[in-house]
Structure 1
Amino acid sequence: MKIARIETFAIPPRWLLCRVETDDGVVGWGEPVVEGRAATVRTAVHELAELLVGKDPLRIEDHWQVMTKGSFYRGGPVLSSAVAGLDQALWDIAGKVFGAPVHVLLGGPVRDRVRAYSWVGGDEPAEIADAVAAQVEAGFTAVKMNASGRMNRLATVTDLDRVVERAEAAREALGPDRDFAVDFHGRFSTANARKVLPLLAPSNPLFAEEPLLPEYTHLLGDLIAASPVPVATGERLYSRTDVLPALRAGVAVLQPDLSHAGGISEVRRIAALAETFDTPIAPHCPLGPVSLAASLQIAFATPNFLIQEQSIGIHYNTGAEVLDYVVDREVFRFHEGHFRRPAGPGLGIEVDERAVRAADGRAPDWRGPIWRHPDGSFAEW
């Protein structure tokens, strides 16, 4: 059995899928994408395809080593994401060849269901209570929201009050038996994060995500030591080497992304590394069906898993949904805010190839917005 063909599909709302086919007709799917750089990653996938076509698809680890280390210049989000999607597709093929879900190939399930959280926006504080109440009604036991909109370099009293008001509104709507997390999205300076984290403690968030930009990971330890709120990070860290400083800093929750951090192969290793620091993982996944399916395979096989992000019904998906690209939507049906363990081979989903091919090329060239401070200078989004 040899890899015969590798294709990519840019589909709405902002996703990129890859399809790997063997010479005897086994097909695996992956989701290699960097949000806002899909075309760039698409090029990288086809460059890496030169290393795979004609090779045995079951030599997954060897392919991972060659794809990540076979060039003098390595790493970074584009290459790591291209590798991630191809790695997912190879694991999908392996599962189909052996007639087993990927989590079985990884050692078998360690849980029967996976807790998930749903997004409730947060950019508009007045809408939080209603949005949270809707997710509670839908059966979710946890939600996540943005902590703020654009932040001043040094927060005003009003800036801080708005962050706290969001948290208080979420806690009131959830009650004491459910959880919410706040995503700082790298919008906060170190000084602002230091000021606001203690103010959030009375609302008891599950975690505060990315209070600092990843390039300031060297400052994370001091922030964590002063924070009464658990700190999470990891969506913009792409390897074991990248996450190690965050783990050493004492991060409470690690959030690797299956479509950015080298795929199933590397995230499995990242999770094992995190376990040695007594740190759970909560895979980042605001993306499409294949990324979510890969995340769930990791979640069911990983002892130190905490909770799963997912984008079904997320507020910023326009033009298409996760469920639009799978044949059997039951795989992604929620049961009291949890996913049940998928039983199908490989990634456990059947991609609707007709829908994917029809959508290819219809994805807009999505870009993250450019924000500016009142003085006209650049502001983090």
Structure 2
Amino acid sequence: MKITDVKVIVSSPGRNFVTVKIFTDEGLTGIGDATLNGREKAVVAYLEDHLVPILIGRDPSRIEDTWQYFYKGAYWRRGPVTMAAIAGIDTALWDIKAKAAGMPLYQLLGGASREKMLCYTHAQGTEISEAVEAVAEKIEQGYHAVRAQVGIPGLPAVYGTDKSATNVAALNNLPHEEVWSTPKYLRHIPKLFAALREKLGDDVELLHDAHHRLTPLEAARLGRDLEPYRLFWLEDTVAAEHQEGFRLIRKHTVTPLAVGEVFNTIWDARLLIEEQLIDYIRMTTVHAGGVTPLRRIMDFASVYNVRTACHGAMDMSPVCLAANLHLGLWAPNFGIQEYTPYLPETLEVFPGAWTAKDGYLHPGNAPGHGVEIDEALAARYPYERSYLPVNRLEDGTLWHW
């Protein structure tokens, strides 16, 4: 079997997505997600100008060799653009291989380690009472785990608290600027989880995302303040580049820690995993370079009792979610899967076999990863330039978003 053609499809059915579609001389096709939110066209150029020409004529079954060729052969390794581009190709090749074998991808990886996968979804409010009700609504819908965010008194709406403030699809001109105050945040967040436990009791799993905005000492303080409320995890406490900072956090709190959604390779997480400074690794297929490296990372994490928790926001297409689900069903150290329901138009463009029911996910049993793309329908949703927000402190200093 040989690769005969490769398409890079850019569409915006509610969000911008970059999809790689690989064609073979035996009629099998596979697709992969190569979306890098806010920098989509950079990945498109990397694919079309540098990787696609090399793919034509290659054997699609030699996935490992192809991955190594694109990673080691570039000399300039790593980085979000490079790894998203490689991920699109790698995921599409695994899709083809599983289709050729006539089995779902998780079977090709080694089979299922569980019947279904626990997921968590998001709930938020501009004030505590609104956030508590939002979380309660998600529990009523069947979710067993919810990430809770709330607005901070004295600040405008920020990420995760008011959908209108961070509606990325609507921000097509310049990035939206948010305002941040860590002292106000640290004083307020424990009050949210006190209210949630009072309302919902102890059986609901609660999560929270600090979005990389704290110093290690601030994160340690927050983790300790949240200990009475037994969070499932505290996510992305400090800037992800600062792996050593987690040593200080770990010394001062037993609140479980999760990180990794912006990591691109195992080198971004090696120290955190080896020293057991985190409890959950949140790397995802499209940002980690595809199925091939993420499977390795999951195996590496299992040695150190670190569990998986793939990033699963709406800015990654259903193709990425499906790949994450197949890996999650296989991984013996699976922890939880992030899940934010897609817009109807997104699901129409990317029909798939995966299911979501009663707070659990399953990738389905269709050959491959189970998601396809309707190219004709995708063409009706042209690319729309958009930006993620940026963040400033109250004095105007640019801060982590």
Structure 1 residue 141 displacement after superposition: 0.5
- 2:347 equivalent among 291, 312, 323: 323
The answer to whether the Cα contact below 8 Å between 2:355 and 2:364 also exists between their aligned partners in 1 is: no
Identify the match of residue 307 of structure 1 among 314, 323, 336.
Answer: 336
- Tell whether the 8 Å contact from 2:90 to 2:292 is kept in structure 1 after alignment: yes
Which position in structure 1 is the counterpart of 2:85?
A: 82
Q: Structure 2: 5+ residue runs without aligned partners?
A: 153-157, 159-178
Equivalent position amino acid for 2:105 in 1 = V
For 2:146 and 2:346, locate their aligned partners in 1 and report how far apart those are by CA, in whole Å: 18
Q: What is the one-letter code of the residue matched to 1:363? A: Y
TM-score by length of 1: 0.91
Instruction: Name 2:383's counterpart in structure 1.
Output: 363
SS at 1:214 equivalent: coil
Partner of 1:243: 269
1:366 counterpart letter in structure 2 = S
Deviation at 1:42, TM superposition (A): 1.2
> Residues 237-276 of structure 1: matches in 2 within 5 Å?
237-250=263-276, 251-276=278-303
Kindly state the Cα deviation for residue 202 of structure 1 after the two structures are TM-superposed: 1.3
Aligned CA distance change for structure 1 residues 134 and 352 (closer, same or farther; 3 Å) = farther
Q: Distance in 1 between matches of 2:200 and 2:21?
A: 41
Match of 1:198 among 209, 224, 229: 224
**Distance (Å, rounded) in 2 between the aligned partners of 1:240 and 1:16:** 24
CA separation in 2, counterparts of 1:89 and 1:146?
Answer: 35
Shift of 1:164: 1.3
Q: Check conservation: 2:116, 2:361, Cα contact below 8 A.
A: yes
Match of 1:335 in 2: 357
Cα 1:258/1:121, change in 2 over 3 Å? farther
2: CA distance, partners of 1:117 / 1:323? 19
Of the three residues 353, 356, 369, the one matched with 1:347 is 369
Verify the 8 A CA contact 1:234 1:243 in the aligned structure 2.
yes
Deviation at 1:358, TM superposition (A): 2.6
List aligned pairs for 1:94-173, cutoff 5 A: 94-121=97-124, 125-146=128-149, 149=158, 150-152=179-181, 155-156=182-183, 158-173=184-199
Paired letter, 1:325: V
Shift of 1:310: 2.0
Secondary structure class of the residue paired with 1:221: helix
* SS class of match (2:243): helix
C-alpha distance in 1 between matches for 2:390 and 2:188:
22
Among 38, 41, 47, the residue aligned to 1:39: 41
Classify the secondary structure of the residue corresponding to 1:30: strand
2:6 pairs with 1:6: yes
Find the partner of 1:373 among 375, 393, 400.
393
Q: In the aligned structure 1, how far is the partner of 2:75 from the partner of 2:197? A: 50
* Cα deviation, residue 98, structure 1: 1.1
The Cα of 1:325 is off from its aligned counterpart by 2.3
**Number of corresponding residues:** 369
State the match for 1:60 in structure 2: 63
Distance of aligned partners of 1:370 and 1:45 in 2 relative to their CA distance in 1, 3 Å threshold: same
1:30 aligns with 2:32: yes
What is the identity, as a one-letter code, of the residue corresponding to 1:370? V
Query: 1:324 Cα shift?
Result: 2.8
Contact 1:312 1:323 in 2 (8 A): no
- Give the letter for the 2:359 counterpart: G
Cα deviations across residues 89-143 of structure 1 (Å, max 9, x unaligned)?
Answer: 0000111111111111111111111111111145654431122122112111011
Structure 2 Cα separation of the partners of residues 84 and 194 of structure 1? 34
Q: Gaps (5+ residues) in structure 1?
A: none
> Is the Cα contact below 8 Å between 1:230 and 1:252 reproduced in 2?
yes
Structure 2 residue identity aligned to 1:203: Y
Q: Is the 8 A contact 1:182 1:209 kept in 2?
A: yes
2:204 aligned with 1:184 = no
1:266 Cα deviation from its structure 2 partner: 0.5
For 1:181, what is the secondary structure of its paired residue? Answer: strand
Q: How far has the Cα of 1:373 moved from its partner?
A: 1.6
Kept after mapping to 1: 8 A contact 2:99/2:367? yes
Please list the CA deviations of residues 188-234 of structure 1 after superposition, one character each: whole Å capped at 9, or x if unmatched: 22232122111111111100111111111111112112112011111
- CA displacement, residues 309-342 of structure 1 (integer Å, 9 cap, x when unaligned): 12215xxx7xx654232335xx343221112351
1:298 Cα deviation from its structure 2 partner: 0.2
Q: Displacement, 1:270?
A: 0.1
| 1:40 to 1:249, Cα distance in 2 relative to 1, 3 A | same
Q: Measure the CA separation in 2 of the matches of 1:169 and 1:202.
A: 12
Distance 1:14 1:125 in 2: 32
- 1: CA distance between counterparts of 2:227 and 2:293? 34
Whether the aligned pair in 1 keeps the contact of 2:43 and 2:84 (CA below 8 Å) is yes
Equivalents in 2 of 1:15, 1:124: separation in Å? 33
Partner of 2:327: 298
